[in-house]
């Protein structure tokens, strides 16, 4: 299944059609060949653009990798919004399962954040988590709020999937169970404060 067959209904206003074609082509090629064997020429051919067009949009391989990781996260690993902070374990479970269906792409997303490449967004869902906590548990103290957001943002990431897969050798179901269980453990102490 190619990355171009899975875009969500919403469009990212920050990405032009040309950039969309380049990023989708690169994501497809990553799944087919890995990241090391993909040249700008091959990306250009797959995207239907000139090689200079790829360079004009992404001057370096790092620029292209960062843009592609963000594109993959927003287009391939689309998440449903949780109606409540207490539904996050289900959202995280679904995210872990989606990463398992597209492992090459999950590794790209994880590697850009885990390596700390400048420009990578380490927790793209942080603002959403903060808004949900503010709305549902406004009296939560700053330190506890920060700890809960940090824990949930970390659990809701490709990096967590990679860690469970590589370091613990877990399968799809075990990864989903462990991540959801950890999210429940983070949220349990504050459940009684909702109201």
pLDDT class of 105 with cuts at 50, 70, 90: very high
Longest dimension (CA), the chain: 58
Q: What is the predicted pLDDT for the residue at 157? A: 92
pLDDT class of 13 with cuts at 50, 70, 90: very low
| Mean pLDDT, the chain, whole residue set | 87
The pLDDT tens digits of the residues spanning 21-69 come to: 999 999 999 999 988 889 999 999 999 999 999 999 999 998 999 999 9
Q: Cα(148)–Cα(99) distance, rounded to whole angstroms?
A: 23
Mean pLDDT computed over 138-162: 93
Q: Cα(191)–Cα(195) distance, rounded to whole angstroms?
A: 9
Percentage of the chain with pLDDT > 70? 87
């Amino acid at each position: 299944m190619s990355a171009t067959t899975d875009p969500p209904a919403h469009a990212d206003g920050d990405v032009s059609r040309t950039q969309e074609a380049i990023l989708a082509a690169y994501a497809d090629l990553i799944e087919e060949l890995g990241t090391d064997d993909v040249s700008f020429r091959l990306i250009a051919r797959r995207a239907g653009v000139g090689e200079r067009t790829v360079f004009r949009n992404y001057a370096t391989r790092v620029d292209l990798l960062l843009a592609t990781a963000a594109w993959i996260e927003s287009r391939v690993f689309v998440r449903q919004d949780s109606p409540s902070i207490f539904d996050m374990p289900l959202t995280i479970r679904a995210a872990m399962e989606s990463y398992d269906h597209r492992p090459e792409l999950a590794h790209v997303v994880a590697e850009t954040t885990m390596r700390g490449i400048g420009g990578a967004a380490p927790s793209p869902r942080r603002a959403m988590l903060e808004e949900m906590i503010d709305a549902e548990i406004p009296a939560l103290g700053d330190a506890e709020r920060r700890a809960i957001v940090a824990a949930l943002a970390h659990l809701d990431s490709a990096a967590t999937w990679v860690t469970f897969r590589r370091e613990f050798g877990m399968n799809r179901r075990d990864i989903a169970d462990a991540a959801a269980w950890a999210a429940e453990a983070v949220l349990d102490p504050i459940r009684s404060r909702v109201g």
